[in-house]
């Protein structure tokens, strides 16, 4: 049986085909078709299956991740959306937390709500913090408001009532009314999307879900229809932002959970390759066309968070975006990708990013109309990339166009050579990425020098060696299929369901019967979901977490909760787990302070997928004999950091390097999906799974 992973990225669509019986992998990478992303998916999959000698009917499972949700919110291309909330709370989306992300900016611009004021209505109802109904919901009031929204042309309605997470009766009644009288209108209820406290975040997340739901619903419906038309009859699954898989039906109801589905695949690939290579602690480094992302894999588990921002006014300024509260893998992102633009600012300083070349034109060397110098242009001029073998030769790079762009916009204004300009860009972008990764790791209470770096993405292996050196990483790992690793991560991710409930109480005063009932209900819902997707409950794993804090604090940290029936005997373990996590994050604990639990989370998951990856025979291009090294292709003039003259760098074909062979840097290793650049004082070994393990001498 075969599984196909599909990751639609900002520049390329990546595809990975897995033979579940043999572990053989076949990769493909094609340009993303922005007018209709499905076209790129079908074209790329058709080409991949043709090379494998297969038909769509041979595929048992397709697993898909996409940036469509993020792009729709950033570009404001979602549906016309209305909001119904408790009367008096219509402006919560604009009031927010009254937080200024830049206290010194007198002309500060705050993110504009996805729902305009004219489409936000308050309904007469009230529920208190314990779930008691104080003011009943009036059906006549509901009918008038919904009619107003429909006449206003909305396609989707978000419903977020005050305290509904304690008693959802009014939200459910509103949802039932809309579905009964206006079945063509999409409805998002906060009790389904984010059933926990914090009114602003809950309203923002629910409105965001409603905003993208029509788009994603139609897209997934069209994708499944097109796959069916060309012979696919298997199971279509969707990657979520927390690194777990779900069904198309759930994704259509809660599309906001797809917000970071692509990057989550990369993190889950980090879990897989960590186990495969025997590394328990790994920092993943995913560098694509527009951004670079780093996440932590600690003891074979990704770091999770529930807080995120999207569509920031200032892209990398915390607090300048729309908050969304969903379970997702914690990662840091900076505007450093292959298409990031380099420029000289008003002070005469060389800068890189965060702006990127458009996806249509790309870097200047792509020959599609781009004229601004980018990171890829500089990599080409330094000799790191092969102009005749980019994506296996499917894209011919124009070196002269790259040189003109760098010379005009950087070298001439700064009065330096083109080589110096290109090296300056390369060093700046590496420093920026290493600094971002270092801060992210330190903020988690960990030492970057204890983490091996797993690098992937189209541009990741080109820059990873210098980034790893700057971080002090002991080893650099370049996995098999590094250019399409996120799509491979989809194939090794488990199917899971995470349920959330708010129950605020000091640990010492918890109603243990109520808590056990709450946890049991969430577990039962999770087991039911897995059974519906064809997984056995007996093989499922249950993970419990609680968001906890010292009483009086405004934010929580996630703490492990033991499985089984909880009682007063569990209190000591909960408090110990909280203190351990708090100490790790902040370096202290507060004696005699009351510990309070806020939100409880239960994830029921299938077993993770594990296999021994092999490159499919059709991808092997080994040429035996006739060379002093089995993978040597030749030599190329390459500039490394600090070089004033190029070195004659050996270039190797990754497909011809044998398992357990060694080589030393400097070296360049080429494959279709990516290029690996290795500097001096490093030893490279290809392991038995065809991963490159690079030992770094300090």
657-679 pLDDT, tens digit per residue, is: 988 889 998 999 999 889 999 99
Q: Take residue 652 and report the two structure tokens written for it.
A: 């190797």
For the chain, what is the mean pLDDT? 91
* Token pair 């370096």 in the structure block, residue: 587
Q: Evaluate if residue 622 carries a pLDDT over 70.
A: no
**Measured distance CA(19)–CA(235) in Å, rounded:** 15
The alpha carbon of residue 412 and the mean position of all alpha carbons in its chain are separated, in whole angstroms, by: 38
Q: Is the pLDDT of residue 619 over 70?
A: no
What value does the mean pLDDT take over residues 548-572? Answer: 93
Q: Rounded to the nearest 5°, which phi and psi values hold at 605?
A: -130, 150
Is pLDDT of 626 > 50?
Answer: no
Whole-number Å distance between alpha carbons of 634 and 47: 30
C-alpha to C-alpha distance for 287 and 485, rounded to whole angstroms: 11
Q: Is the pLDDT of residue 374 over 90?
A: yes
Q: Which residue has the higher pLDDT, 425 or 9?
A: 425
Q: Rounded to two decimals, what is the model's pTM? A: 0.88
- Please identify which residue in the block is written with the tokens 């893998």: 329
Strand, helix or coil for residue 695: strand
Q: Over range 19-29, report the average pLDDT.
A: 91
- Report in angstroms the alpha-carbon separations of 607 from 245, 497, 572: 12, 13, 30
Would you state the pLDDT for residue 620?
Answer: 45
Which 8-state DSSP code applies to residue 590? -
Say which residues have a Cβ less than 8 Å from residue 454's Cβ, sequence separation at least 6. 269, 270, 273, 274, 279, 282, 283, 284, 285, 297, 477, 479
- pLDDT (tens digit per residue) in 295-348: 999 989 898 888 888 887 876 677 888 999 999 999 888 878 888 999 999 999
Alpha-carbon distance 17 to 13, whole Å? 13
Cα distances from 332 to residues 43, 285, 512, 662, in angstroms, run 32, 10, 37, 33
d(Cα 146, Cα 135) in Å, to the nearest integer? 19
**pLDDT band at residue 551 under the 50/70/90 scheme:** very high
Confidence grade of residue 627 (pLDDT, cut at 50, 70, 90): very low
617 Cα distance to chain centroid = 31
- % pLDDT > 90, the chain: 69
Among the residue ranges 214-223, 306-315, 545-554, 671-680, the one predicted with the least confidence is 306-315
Go through the domains of the chain in sequence order and give each one's CATH number.
2-73+218-257 (3.30.420.40), 78-217 (3.40.50), 340-426 (no CATH), 496-605 (no CATH)
- Rounded Cα–Cα distance for residues 483 and 459 (Å): 8
Question: Distance between CA atoms of 163 and 165, rounded to whole angstroms?
Answer: 5
Cα gap 289→312, rounded to integer Å: 19
The whole-angstrom separation of Cα 549 and Cα 555 is 7
Cα–Cα distance, 287 to 255 (Å, whole number): 25
pLDDT higher than threshold 70 for residue 602: yes
Q: Are 157 and 84 in contact (CB under 8 A)?
A: yes
Which residue bears the tokens 């993110």? 111
Does residue 99 have a pLDDT over 70?
Answer: yes
Q: What is the pLDDT of residue 146?
A: 96
Q: Tokens for 564, please give them.
A: 């089984």
Average pLDDT on 130-143 reads 92
Q: What is the dihedral of CA 65, 68, 74, 80, to 10 degrees?
A: -130
SS3 686: strand
Which residues, 6 or more positions from 17, have their beta carbon under 8 angstroms from its beta carbon? Answer: 2, 3, 4, 5, 25, 26, 27, 28, 48, 49, 52, 54
Phi-psi region of 587 (alpha: psi -120 to 50; beta: other; left: phi over 0): left
Q: What is the 3-state secondary structure (H, E, C) of 281-319?
A: CEEEEEECCCCEEEEEEECCEECEECCEEECCCCCCCCC
Residue-level pLDDT at 625: 36
Token output for 388:
């005749």
| pLDDT of the residue at 315 | 64
Tokens matching residue 347:
């002070």
Confidence of residue 34 (pLDDT cuts 50, 70, 90): confident
Per-residue model confidence as pLDDT tens digits over 236-276: 999 999 999 999 999 999 999 999 898 899 999 999 999 99
Residue 628 has pLDDT above 50, yes or no: no
Average confidence (pLDDT) over 650-654: 93
Tell me the pLDDT band of 538, cut-offs 50, 70 and 90: confident
Residues 6+ away with beta carbon under 8 Å from 516: 565, 566
DSSP state of 409: I
Question: What pLDDT score does 609 carry?
Answer: 87
Looking at the DSSP bridge assignments, the partners of residue 16 are 5, 27
Q: Which of the four pLDDT bands, split at 50, 70 and 90, describes residue 698? A: low
- For the chain, what's the residue count? 698
Peptide bond into 354 cis (omega under 30): yes
How far, rounded to the nearest angstrom, does the alpha carbon of residue 534 sit from its chain's CA centroid?
26
Q: What pLDDT, in 10s, does the model give residues 388-401?
A: 998 888 889 999 99
Residue 72 CB partners (closer than 8 Å, separation 6+): 78, 211, 212, 215, 216
């Amino acid at each position: 049986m075969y599984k196909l992973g599909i990751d639609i990225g900002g520049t390329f669509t990546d595809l990975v085909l897995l033979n579940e019986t043999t572990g053989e992998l076949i990769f493909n990478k094609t340009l993303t078709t922005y007018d209709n992303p499905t076209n790129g998916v079908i074209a790329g999959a058709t080409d991949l299956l043709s090379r494998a000698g297969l038909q769509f009917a041979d595929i048992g499972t397709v697993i898909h991740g996409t940036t469509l949700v993020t792009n729709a919110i950033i570009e404001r291309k979602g549906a016309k959306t209305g909001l119904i909330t408790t009367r008096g709370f219509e402006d919560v989306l604009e009031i927010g937390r009254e937080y200024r992300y830049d206290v010194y900016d007198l002309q500060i611009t705050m993110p504009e709500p996805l729902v305009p004021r004219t489409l936000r209505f308050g309904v007469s109802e009230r529920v208190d913090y314990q779930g008691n109904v104080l003011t009943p919901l009036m059906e006549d009031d509901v009918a008038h408001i919904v009619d107003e929204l429909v006449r206003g042309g909305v396609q989707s309605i978000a419903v977020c009532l005050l305290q509904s997470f304690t008693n959802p009766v009014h939200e459910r009644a509103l949802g039932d009314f809309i579905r009964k009288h206006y079945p063509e209108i999409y409805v998002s209820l906060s009790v389904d999307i984010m059933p926990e406290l914090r009114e602003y975040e809950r309203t923002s997340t629910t409105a965001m879900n409603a905003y993208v739901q029509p788009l994603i619903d139609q897209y997934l419906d069209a994708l499944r229809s097109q796959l069916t038309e060309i012979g696919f009859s298997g199971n279509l699954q969707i990657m979520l932002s927390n690194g777990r898989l779900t069904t198309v039906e759930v994704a259509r109801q809660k599309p906001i959970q797809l917000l970071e589905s692509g990057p989550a695949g990369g993190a889950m690939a980090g879990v897989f390759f960590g186990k495969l290579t025997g590394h328990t602690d790994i920092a993943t480094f995913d560098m694509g066309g527009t951004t670079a992302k780093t996440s932590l894999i600690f003891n074979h588990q990704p770091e999770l968070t529930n807080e995120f921002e999207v569509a920031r006014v200032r892209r990398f300024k915390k607090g300048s975006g729309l908050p969304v509260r969903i379970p997702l893998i914690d990662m840091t992102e900076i505007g450093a990708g292959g298409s990031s633009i380099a420029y000289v600012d008003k002070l005469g300083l060389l800068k890189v990013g965060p702006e990127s070349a458009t996806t249509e034109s790309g870097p200047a060397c792509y020959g599609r109309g781009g004229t601004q110098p980018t990171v890829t242009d500089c990599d080409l001029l330094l000799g790191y990339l092969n102009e005749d073998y980019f994506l296996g030769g499917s894209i011919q790079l124009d070196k002269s166009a790259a040189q003109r762009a760098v010379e005009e916009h950087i070298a001439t204004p700064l009065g330096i050579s083109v080589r110096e300009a290109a090296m300056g860009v390369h060093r700046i972008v590496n420093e920026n990425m290493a600094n971002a990764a270092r801060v992210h790791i330190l903020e988690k209470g960990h030492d970057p020098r204890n983490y091996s770096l797993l690098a992937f993405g189209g541009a990741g292996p080109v820059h990873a060696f210098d980034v790893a050196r700057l971080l002090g990483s002991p080893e650099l790992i370049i996995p098999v299929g590094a250019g399409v690793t996120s799509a491979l991560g989809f194939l090794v991710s488990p199917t899971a369901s995470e349920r959330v409930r708010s129950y605020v109480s000091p640990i010492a005063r918890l109603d243990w019967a109520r808590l056990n009932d709450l946890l049991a209900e969430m577990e039962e819902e999770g087991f039911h979901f897995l059974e519906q997707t064809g997984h056995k409950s007996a093989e499922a794993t249950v993970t419990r977490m609680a968001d906890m804090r010292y009483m009086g604090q405004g934010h929580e940290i996630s703490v492990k909760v033991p499985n089984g029936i909880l009682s007063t005997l569990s209190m000591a373990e909960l408090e110990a787990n909280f203190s351990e996590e708090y100490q790790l994050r902040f370096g202290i604990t507060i004696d005699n302070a009351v510990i309070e639990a806020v939100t409880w989370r239960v994830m029921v998951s299938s077993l993770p997928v594990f296999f021994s990856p092999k490159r499919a025979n059709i991808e092997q291009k080994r040429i035996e004999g006739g060379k002093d090294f089995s993978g040597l292709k030749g030599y190329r003039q390459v500039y490394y950091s600090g070089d004033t003259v190029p070195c004659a760098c050996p270039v190797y074909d990754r497909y011809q390097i044998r398992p357990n062979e060694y080589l030393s840097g400097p070296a360049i290793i080429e494959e279709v999906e990516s290029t690996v650049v290795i500097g001096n004082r490093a030893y490279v070994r290809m392991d038995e799974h065809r991963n490159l393990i690079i030992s770094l001498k300090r």
